[in-house]
């Protein structure tokens, strides 16, 4: 049977903060009005998240240890706030649009996780700085065999003030990302609720 193959399959893993419903709903409503350029592929509402640590392809037998580590983290409250959309990369054609979420608490959470994962031999820290953000749309390629992103002429406008209020991350989740043509699906594998979840 496929599920009992001798070779463990690699799983694409990442640890993320989930957003409170009110913020998720606000971002979704904004996106329905602003992420309308035909070149854009908006992130599904249920998939909106802030990536804390991208682990990449990992052996399936490491999942349990990573999940235990996530569940065991006595995470402090992570207060954050979303900012108006930016596109990346900055100096070339946009390949994605994201809402920056600058937050010392979230950066601390990132470093806390990375340190513990490194000590446990489960992850090697990336060289680049952590940039907390919520990706809201990706740009389709221009087609014709090119991998260059298509031009986005209707760039998304700013967020309404109601979405730019401070909030706490709801929970921290270890996800498996299943890459699919219509947009990746994220499957939760382990979760820990954060204190003060969703309150402002």
Binding residues for ligand ATP, rule: CB under 6 A, are 12, 14, 51, 54, 135, 138, 177, 179, 184
Instruction: Closer to ligand ATP by CB, 141 or 184: give it.
Output: 184
Instruction: Closer to ligand ATP by CB, 12 or 196: give it.
Output: 12
Q: State the minimum distance, in angstroms, from the CB of residue 147 to ligand ATP.
A: 13
Instruction: Closer to ligand ATP by CB, 32 or 178: give it.
Output: 178
Instruction: Closer to ligand ATP by CB, 43 or 159: give it.
Output: 43
Instruction: Closer to ligand ATP by CB, 107 or 196: give it.
Output: 107
Q: State the minimum distance, in angstroms, from the CB of residue 200 to ligand ATP.
A: 24
Q: State the minimum distance, in angstroms, from the CB of residue 116 to ligand ATP.
A: 18
Nearest Cα residue to 128 out of 76, 54, 75: 54
Q: State the minimum distance, in angstroms, from the CB of residue 1 to ligand ATP.
A: 26
Q: Which residues of 109-148 are buried (b: 16+ CB within 10 A; e: fewer)?
A: bbeebbeebeeeebbeeeeeebebbbbbbbbeeeeeeeee
Tokens of 62: 């490491």
Nearest Cα residue to 30 out of 93, 84, 78: 84
Locate tokens 């992850």: which residue? 123
Instruction: Closer to ligand ATP by CB, 47 or 196: give it.
Output: 47
Q: What angle do CA 182, 192, 29 make, to 5 degrees?
A: 45
Q: Which residues of 37-51 are buried (b: 16+ CB within 10 A; e: fewer)?
A: bebbebbeeebbbbb
- The three-state secondary structure class of 188 is strand
Q: State the minimum distance, in angstroms, from the CB of residue 184 to ligand ATP.
A: 4
Nearest Cα residue to 173 out of 56, 22, 70: 70
Q: State the minimum distance, in angstroms, from the CB of residue 6 to ligand ATP.
A: 26
């Amino acid at each position: 049977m496929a599920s009992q193959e001798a070779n463990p399959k690699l799983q694409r893993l990442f640890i993320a903060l989930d957003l409170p419903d009110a913020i998720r709903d606000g971002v979704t409503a904004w996106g329905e009005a602003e992420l309308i350029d035909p070149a854009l592929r908006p992130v599904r509402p249920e998939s909106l998240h802030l990536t804390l640590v991208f682990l990449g392809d990992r052996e399936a037998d490491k999942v349990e240890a990573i999940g235990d580590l996530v569940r065991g983290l006595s995470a402090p409250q992570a207060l954050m706030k979303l900012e108006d959309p930016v596109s990346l990369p900055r100096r070339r054609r946009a390949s994605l649009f994201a809402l920056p979420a600058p937050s010392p608490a979230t950066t601390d959470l990132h470093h806390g996780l990375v340190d513990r994962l490194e000590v446990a031999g489960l992850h090697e820290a990336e060289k680049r700085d952590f940039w907390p953000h919520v990706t809201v749309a990706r740009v389709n390629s221009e087609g014709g065999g090119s991998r260059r992103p298509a031009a986005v002429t209707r760039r998304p406008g700013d967020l309404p003030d109601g979405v730019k209020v401070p909030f706490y991350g709801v929970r921290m989740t270890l996800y498996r990302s299943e890459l699919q043509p219509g947009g990746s699906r994220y499957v939760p594998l382990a979760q820990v609720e954060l204190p003060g979840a969703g309150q402002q």
